[in-house]
Amino acid sequence: MNVGHFVLALALINGLAALGFYGYAAMRAPEYVRPARLFAISMTIFVVFASALQWVNIMTHQFQFEYVRNFTDRALPRLLLFTTFWGGQAGSFLLWALMCALFTLVLIWGLRRSAWEPFVLTPYLLVALCVTGITLAAGPFKMLPAGEVPADGNGLNPLPQNYWMAIHPPILFTGFT
């Protein structure tokens, strides 16, 4: 298991804890809102960290990662290297998990003085956890066997190299979130 996979697993565990505490807080135990917030914030930090790791892997051409090998190459300009983050299915799920995690912070901040916080965050975290779990299963940090690491990647699919297709996933997932 590598660091990215481990960090996503920690995000999932913290999200499950937040979901449990928010669920319990919704059942007339408001003192559990504080630990729920802390676990939800921790989940967000771990998803942001995993996303940052993926961008570092992409930008530094870490071809030992299957995702980086499949969707990047050394000839891609920086802007297109940036868009390879969501160029494949596992990356798209990671982008969606990132947006869900960041919106969790927006909800916590917006509802921090409201009695509705556990009632809103419980179902929202359920959705965010499903996306995070799917991301973990999709394996954006899956590594190639040591003897199969290429000197260059396969390159980005021609579709996301169009400006409109490059901005399509972030806009779409913002709406989903």
State whether the Cα torsion 129-133-136-138 is positive or negative.
negative
Mean pLDDT computed over 146-171: 78
What is the predicted pLDDT for the residue at 156? Answer: 79
pLDDT digits over 130-140, tens only? 999 999 999 99
- Bridge partners of 143, per DSSP, are 65
| pTM, 2 dp | 0.91
What is the predicted pLDDT for the residue at 81? Answer: 86
Mean pLDDT computed over 48-76: 94
Split at pLDDT 50, 70, 90, the class of 82 is: confident
Split at pLDDT 50, 70, 90, the class of 153 is: confident
Note whether 111 and 125 are within 8 A (CB).
no
3-state SS string over 126-167? HHHHHHHHHHHHHCCCCECCHHHCCCCCCCCCCHHHCHHHHH
What is the predicted pLDDT for the residue at 164? Answer: 73
pLDDT, the chain, mean: 91
Confidence check: pLDDT of 114 > 80: yes
Split at pLDDT 50, 70, 90, the class of 1 is: low
Q: Helices 33-59 & 3-26, crossing angle to 10 degrees?
A: 160
Is 130 or 87 the better-scoring residue by pLDDT?
Answer: 130
